[in-house]
Amino acid sequence: MSVGRETRLSAWIERFAAHFAEEGIPLIGGRILGYLLVCQPVERTAAELSQELEASSGSISTNLKYLVNVGLVTKRTRRGRQAAEYRINEKAWTDFIQRKFDAIASVQTLTDDGMRLLSGDPERSMRLRTVDKLYGWLSEELPALWERRPAAPK
């Protein structure tokens, strides 16, 4: 007997969360992301997420705040509804990746400063130069690559 689609989806959500946990996103935050990517209907309240993901209301609140803050999740309040509704903001995923690229490219300022401190000592700055060159190249190419990214569909 085969397992149902929903069961497999929740296993998928767990894998999804595990991946982002390695990148420093709290497990529950990752679960929220994965869940909001595939749930039907697309909008959920904090209470529903708490029940569905078996996490405390506090954890859900903290993580939603974080996710809304970085833009990956959107909060919507409606008149006549006490509960706010949350949904994935899949278009913000590009910003999420861009921040990663920026983090990589930002090392270049660091290596650059180091090179300045060692100026006039070519012998000693050889090692740093190799690293600086690499990051210099990256901080040229990554933004250029990013320009060519495909437009998100409406």
- For its own copies, the binding residues (CB under 8 A) are 5, 8-9, 12, 15-16, 19, 22-24, 36-38, 40, 42, 88, 90-91, 93-94, 97, 100, 103-104, 106-107, 110, 113-114, 117-118, 124-125, 127-128, 130-131, 133-134, 137-138, 141, 145, 148-150, 152-153
Of the ranges 21-29, 89-97, 98-106, 124-132, which one interacts with DNA (CB under 7 A)? 21-29
Q: How many whole angstroms separate alpha carbon 16 and alpha carbon 84?
A: 25
Which of its own copies, DNA, none interacts with 93 (beta carbon under 5 to 8 A by kind)? its own copies
Q: Could you say whether residue 81 binds DNA (CB under 7 A)?
A: yes
Q: Which residues contact 60 (CB under 8 A, 6 or more apart)?
A: 28, 32, 46, 49, 50, 53
Q: Give the residue from 43, 39, 37, 34 showing the smallest Cα distance to 12.
A: 34
Q: 121 Cβ partners below 8 Å, 6+ apart?
A: none
CA-CA-CA-CA dihedral for 112, 117, 118, 120, to nearest 10? 110
Residues that bind DNA (CB under 7 A): 24, 26-29, 45-47, 50, 54-65, 75, 77, 79-84
